[in-house]
Structure 1
Amino acid sequence: MSSVADARPVRRSGYAPRGPGAGQLAGTGGLLRLALRRDRVLLPVWIAVVAGIVLAMPGSLEGFYGTAAERADAMASMNSNSSMRALYGPVFGDSIGALAAWRIGCYAGVLAAVMSLVIVVRHTREEEETGRQEMLSAAVVGRRAPLTAALLAAFVANASVALLIAAGLAGRGAGGALALGLGVGGVGMLFAGLAAVVAQCAESARLAKGITAGALGAAFALRAAGDAGTAGGSSALTWASPLGWQENLRAYAGERWWVLLVLGAAIVVQGCVAYGLAGRRDVGMGFLPPRPGPARGALATAGGLAWRLQRGALGAWTAAFLVAGVVFGGMASGAADIVGDNENARDIVERLGGRSGLTDAFLATMTGLFGMIAALYAVTSVLRLHAEETSQRAEPVLAGAVGRLRWAAGHLAVAFGGSVLLMAAAGLGLAVGHGEDAGAVLGACLAQLPAVWVLGGVTVLLAGAFPKAAPAAWGVVGVCLAIGWIGPVLELPGAVMDLSPFGHLPKLPGSAMSWPPLVLLTVIAAALVTAGLAGLRRRDMTG
C-alpha cells in the first residue's frame, strides 16, 4: 500500500515551489553577489565612463561659451540647425548646466542603456545558454531569482551613475543635477526591463542583445526624426521614444518632474511582463523558437560557419555606417555655421580634427568617431570566438578535421575584414553627403584601420591566451573611446592621449599623410593576433 508521502507531488529539481510567495525569490541575494563579483571589473568601468563624460562636459562648455551672450547665441544657432537638433535635440536653456544636458544627456542615456542590456542578458539568458543556470538551480533557487538578481545588478549600476552625476553637478544646481542623473539612470533601467522581457522570449543571448539593441537604435531614430522636424519643442515622434522622455525632463531648464512618472510606469510594466513570462517557461527555452535550418547543410568550412553566424550583424553595422556617413557628410559644409564666430569652439573642433581648415577638421573628427565605433564592432566580432568556446559550440566543430587555428581564422577574417567594410561604407557615405574630395575622405576613413586592428588584436590576445580575462577587452576599448572623445576637449596631457592607438594616427583629411605610425600600429596588431593564436593553440579549450 502506498504511503501518504508517496502521494505528494514531486518538487522540481532546483526550484522552490511554483506558487506565490518568498520561494519564488529564494537565493536572490546569493545570485546578486555572484553577479556583482563576476562584473567587479566591467561594472566600475562602465559606471566611470558614463558618469565621467557627463561630469566632464560642463567644464569644457565653459571654454566654449564663457559669457551669457555667447550661450544665448549658441542656443539660437543650435535650435535653428535641424542637423544639430537631430544629433543632440533642442536646447531648452542657456545656462552651462542646460547646455551640458543638451550636449551629452541623450548619449549618456544610450550608454546607460547599453550597459543595462549587457548586464541583464549576461545574467539571465547567457547563463541559461551556457548551462550554468541549470547547475546553479541544483541549489535552492527560486524560479524568478535569476531575473531578480540581474535586474538588481542593473539597478545598482544605474543608481551609481545617477548618484555620481547628481553629486558631481550639484554645485551647478541641485535640481538640475538630480534631474539629469535620474534621467540617465531611468533610461538605463527602462532598457534593462526591456532586455529582461526579450531574454524570456529569445533562446540565445546574441538574439536577445540584438533585439534590445535594435529597439535602442529605433528609439534614437525616432527622437532624431522628431527633433529634426520641430524647432523649439518636441513632436509626437520625440514622445514616442524613451530618449525623448529623458530629453523632455528638461534638466536645468525648468524640470518636468512628472516625466519621471512616465519612465517609472514603463519600467514597472516591463518588469511585470518579464516576471510573468519567467514563470511560464522552462530553463533554456524561450517563446521565440529558433528557425530550423535546411534539411541538408551547405557549410563546408569553418570560415563559412563563421560568416554564416556573423553576416547578419555585419550587414546591420555596414548599413548604419553608410547612413550615418551620409548624414555627417551633409553637415560638413555647414561646420563653420555650427561654431559661428566663437573662437574657442573653433579651437576645440580643430584640436579634435587637426590644424586644418574647419571643414577638413570636422571631417577628420567624424572619421575618428567612425574608427572608434568600428573598434566596438571588431571587439564584438572577436569575442564571438570566445562565446563559441564558452558555450561549447566549438567542440563539435573541432571534433572534425578542423584545427584550432583554422577555426579561429574564420572568425578573425570576419572581424578584421568586416572593419574594413565598415570604414569603407563610412567613407563612401561621407563622400556622398559632402559631395567633394571623395578620394581624400575615403582614404581618411581607411587610415583609421590600424588603430581598429590594434584593439581587435588586444581582444584576440585576451581571448586566446587569457580567456577568463576576455571581457576586459571592453574595458580597454572603453578607455580608448573616453580618451578619444573627451581628451581633446579637456586638453589631456600627450602621455595620456598616446595611450589610445587612435592618438597616433594622422588627422585626415587636411593634415599631411604620415605612414610610419600606420605601419607600426599594423605590426603591433599582427603581433597581438599572433600571440593570441599561439596561446589558443597551446591551452585547453576549457580555458
Structure 2
Amino acid sequence: MTAVASRATALPASGRRTRQLAGTGSLLRLALRRDRVMMPVWILVVAGLVLAMPGSLESVYGTAAERADAMETMNSNSSMRAMYGPVFGDSLGALSAWRIGCYAGVLAAVMSLVIVVRHTREEEESGRQEMLAASMVGRRAPLTAALLAAFVANAGAGLLITAGMAGQGVRGALALGLGIAGTGMLFATLAAIAAQLTESARLAKGLTGAALGAAFVLRAAGDSGTADGSSAPTWLSPLGWQENLRAFAGERWWVLALVGAATVAQGVVAYELAGRRDVGMSFLPTRPGPARGRIATAGALAWRLQRGAVLGWTAGFLLAGMVFGQMASGAADIVGDNESTRDIIERMGGRSDLTEAFLSTITGLFGMVAGLYVAASVLRLHAEETSQRAEPLLAGAVGRLRWAAGHLVIAFGGSALLMTVCGIGVAIGHGEDAGAVLGACLAQLPAVWVLGGLTVLFVGAYPKGAAAAWAVVGGCLAIGWIGPALDLPRAVMNLSPFGHLPKLPGAALSWPPLITLTLLAAALTGVGLAVLRRRDMTN
C-alpha cells in the first residue's frame, strides 16, 4: 500500500491530469447517443428560428426605405428596445439579428444548461455516475464529456446559422453564429458550476435559469434607457454582449473575447470545484428537514416540489404582461403605415381594430408560452418516476391516481393562474378594457390544457418517449409565431390547438371550439391516467 501511494504521489502533474480525464471519450459517445433525438431537435429549433427571420422580415419591410423607417421607429420606442434591443442597421441581416438574436441566444443557453446538468448532476442523482466512477473513469471526465456535448450542440447550431445567413453577408453571418453559440457555451459552463454547488439537478437548472433571467432583465433595463447599447446594465449582461457584437452592422469582433474569457473562467472554476468534492456530494448541501414531517398528502408534496417553478413563472408572466400591455397602447405608432406589418398582426390577432388585434396577438403568444409551463409541470411526474422517488411513495397507501393528481392540479391550475396574472398585467400596462383582456387570456386555457393532456398521454402510454411532448409544444409555438408572418395555409395553422381559438378581444366569443378543446384535453388526460394506472412503473 505504501509503495502504491508513493508511486501515485510521484506521478507528474500531467499524468494526474490525464488520469482525471480517463474515459472522457466513452462518456461523450454515451452522452451523444442518449441525446441523439433531443440534441438535433434543439439545434434545428434554434437555427430554424433564425433562418426563417430574413424571409419573414422581407415580406414586411420589402424596401430599403421601409427598413430604415422601421429602424427609426423601433429605436425610438423604449418598450421595443427592452424586448428586442436597439437596431444597429437597416439591412435584412441586421434586422434579423435584432429581432431574433437575443431570443436565439436564450434558447441556446437553455439547451446548454439542460445538456450539462443532464450529464452531470442528474447522473449523480440517479446513482449511475457512482457505478461509472467505480470503473476507469477520471474524476473530471463526466464534466468534460458534458461540456463537450454542449459544445457539439452549440457548434452545430452556430454552423447552421452561419451557413444559412451567409446570403445576407458572410461576416455578419459568422458573427451571429459565433455570438449565439458563444452565449450557449457561456451558460453551459455556468450550469457546470451550479451542478457542483447543488445536490439536485432541479436546483442546478433553477439557479442557471435564474441567472439567465437576470441577464435578460439587465439587458432589457439597459436597452430601454439608451438606443445604442452602451448602458452599464447592458454590458453587465451576456445577452448584451451578443447584442453589442453588432452582426451585419459593423461587427465588433473583440466582444467575442469577452464571451470567451468569461466561458474559460467559469470552466476553470467548475473544474476546480469538481476536483474537490465526492461523487453525489455538493458544496451547498440540502438543509435537513424538520424532525417531524409536515407534508401529509401527495398533493402537498407535489406543491412542495413545484412551488418555486409556479412562483417564478407567475412573476414572469405578470411583469411581461405589464410590458406588452404598455406596448399595446402604441401599437398604431409602432406599425405606422406599413401595410405588411398590419396584415401580419391581423392574421395573428383577427381582423379588428389594430390595438385589439395586437392585444389578441400577445395574449395568444402568452398562451403558447403557458404551454411550455404545463408540459414541464406534467413531465415532473416522469422525472419523479425515473429517479425512483415515486416508488417508495407508491409502496404505501398512496395510489397512482392520487399521486398523479397532485402534480396535474398544479400543472393545469398553475396554467390558469399564469393566464390570470397575465391578463391582470396586460390590463395594468394597457390601462383599458381590463375585463376584455382578462377574458382573452383565459380563453387560451383550453388549448393550453390540450398540450397538457397530450403530455399526460405521453407520460402514461410511452414514458420512454415522454420528452417528445417538448417537440409538440415547440411545434405549436413555431406555427403560432412564424406561421402568420409566412402566411402558412389554414390547414397548417389548424394543426395547433391555438389555431381554433376565437381572436379575443375584438372577435365574437365562440363557445363550441372552447368546449371541444376542453373535452379533448379531458379525454387525453383520462386516457393517459388510465394507462399510467395499469402499466409497470419505470417501463
Give the TM-score category using the shorter length. Answer: over 0.9
- CA distance, structure 1, for counterparts of residue 216 and residue 268 of structure 2: 25
| Residue number among 487, 498, 502 corresponding to 2:498 in the alignment | 502
| Residue number among 120, 123, 145 corresponding to 2:119 in the alignment | 123
* Matching residue of 1:471: 467
Give the Å deviation of 1:233: 3.8
Q: Does 1:178 align with 2:167?
A: no
CA contact (8 A) 1:506 1:512 kept: yes
Partner SS for 1:216: helix
Give the Å deviation of 1:183: 0.6
Q: Does 1:519 align with 2:503?
A: no
* Matching residue of 1:536: 532
- CA distance, structure 2, for counterparts of residue 230 and residue 316 of structure 1: 28
CA contact (8 A) 1:18 1:24 kept: no
The code of the aligned residue for 2:127 comes to: G
Deviations 1:152-210 (A, max 9, x none): 11111111111011100111110001101111111011101100111111100000000
- CA distance, structure 2, for counterparts of residue 106 and residue 461 of structure 1: 34
Give the Å deviation of 1:8: 3.2
Partner SS for 2:342: helix
| Residue number among 11, 21, 26 corresponding to 1:25 in the alignment | 21
* Matching residue of 1:492: 488
Q: Does 1:273 align with 2:269?
A: yes
- CA distance, structure 2, for counterparts of residue 9 and residue 20 of structure 1: 13
| Residue number among 209, 214, 218 corresponding to 1:213 in the alignment | 209
- CA distance, structure 1, for counterparts of residue 7 and residue 352 of structure 2: 72
The code of the aligned residue for 2:426 comes to: L
Higher mean C-alpha deviation, range 138-147 or range 92-101? 138-147
Deviations 1:297-326 (A, max 9, x none): 111111111111111210111111111111
* Matching residue of 1:386: 382
Give the Å deviation of 1:327: 1.1
The code of the aligned residue for 2:302 comes to: A
- CA distance, structure 2, for counterparts of residue 538 and residue 59 of structure 1: 49
The code of the aligned residue for 1:308 comes to: R
- CA distance, structure 2, for counterparts of residue 243 and residue 286 of structure 1: 29
The code of the aligned residue for 2:355 comes to: T
Q: Does 1:350 align with 2:346?
A: yes
The code of the aligned residue for 1:355 comes to: R
* Matching residue of 1:327: 323
Q: Percent identity?
A: 78
Q: Does 1:203 align with 2:199?
A: yes
- CA distance, structure 2, for counterparts of residue 103 and residue 216 of structure 1: 19
* Matching residue of 1:419: 415
Could you list the runs of 5+ residues in structure 2 that have no partner in the other structure?
none
| Residue number among 101, 104, 110 corresponding to 2:100 in the alignment | 104
- CA distance, structure 2, for counterparts of residue 418 and residue 465 of structure 1: 24
* Matching residue of 1:45: 41
| Residue number among 52, 57, 64 corresponding to 1:56 in the alignment | 52
Partner SS for 2:16: coil
Partner SS for 1:8: helix
CA contact (8 A) 1:364 1:507 kept: yes
Give the Å deviation of 1:28: 1.2
Give the Å deviation of 1:231: 2.4
| Residue number among 280, 285, 290 corresponding to 2:286 in the alignment | 290
Give the Å deviation of 1:109: 0.5
Give the Å deviation of 1:500: 1.2
Partner SS for 2:287: coil
Map 1:435-474 → 2, pairs under 5 A: 435-474=431-470
CA contact (8 A) 1:58 1:100 kept: yes
The code of the aligned residue for 1:458 comes to: L
CA contact (8 A) 2:229 2:244 kept: no
Partner SS for 1:351: helix
- CA distance, structure 1, for counterparts of residue 416 and residue 172 of structure 2: 43
- CA distance, structure 1, for counterparts of residue 185 and residue 2 of structure 2: 46
Alpha-carbon distance change, 18 to 181 in structure 1, aligned in 2, over 3 angstroms = closer
The code of the aligned residue for 1:326 comes to: M
Partner SS for 1:169: helix
Give the Å deviation of 1:351: 1.1
CA contact (8 A) 1:68 1:94 kept: yes
Alpha-carbon distance change, 18 to 388 in structure 1, aligned in 2, over 3 angstroms = farther
- CA distance, structure 2, for counterparts of residue 373 and residue 489 of structure 1: 18
Number of matched pairs: 535
Higher mean C-alpha deviation, range 64-73 or range 262-271? 64-73
- CA distance, structure 2, for counterparts of residue 300 and residue 18 of structure 1: 54
Give the Å deviation of 1:517: 1.4
| Residue number among 227, 231, 234 corresponding to 2:230 in the alignment | 234
Give the Å deviation of 1:18: 11
Q: Does 1:193 align with 2:184?
A: no
Could you list the runs of 5+ residues in structure 1 that have no partner in the other structure?
none
- CA distance, structure 1, for counterparts of residue 506 and residue 211 of structure 2: 37
| Residue number among 131, 137, 148 corresponding to 1:152 in the alignment | 148
- CA distance, structure 2, for counterparts of residue 260 and residue 120 of structure 1: 22
CA contact (8 A) 1:18 1:143 kept: no
* Matching residue of 1:405: 401
Partner SS for 1:21: helix
- CA distance, structure 1, for counterparts of residue 236 and residue 491 of structure 2: 44
Deviations 1:211-256 (A, max 9, x none): 0000000000000000001123420110000000000000000000
Map 1:246-265 → 2, pairs under 5 A: 246-265=242-261
Deviations 1:400-449 (A, max 9, x none): 21111111110111111100000000011111111111111111101111
- CA distance, structure 1, for counterparts of residue 83 and residue 73 of structure 2: 14
Give the Å deviation of 1:10: 12
- CA distance, structure 2, for counterparts of residue 354 and residue 143 of structure 1: 58
Deviations 1:456-501 (A, max 9, x none): 1111111122111111111111111111111111111222212211
Give the Å deviation of 1:36: 1.2
Give the Å deviation of 1:9: 4.4
The code of the aligned residue for 1:484 comes to: G
- TM-score normalized with structure 1 length: 0.96
Alpha-carbon distance change, 151 to 508 in structure 1, aligned in 2, over 3 angstroms = same
- CA distance, structure 2, for counterparts of residue 209 and residue 492 of structure 1: 36
The code of the aligned residue for 1:64 comes to: V
Higher mean C-alpha deviation, range 254-263 or range 24-33? 24-33
- TM-score normalized with structure 2 length: 0.97
Partner SS for 1:293: coil
Higher mean C-alpha deviation, range 49-58 or range 390-399? 390-399
Give the Å deviation of 1:137: 2.3
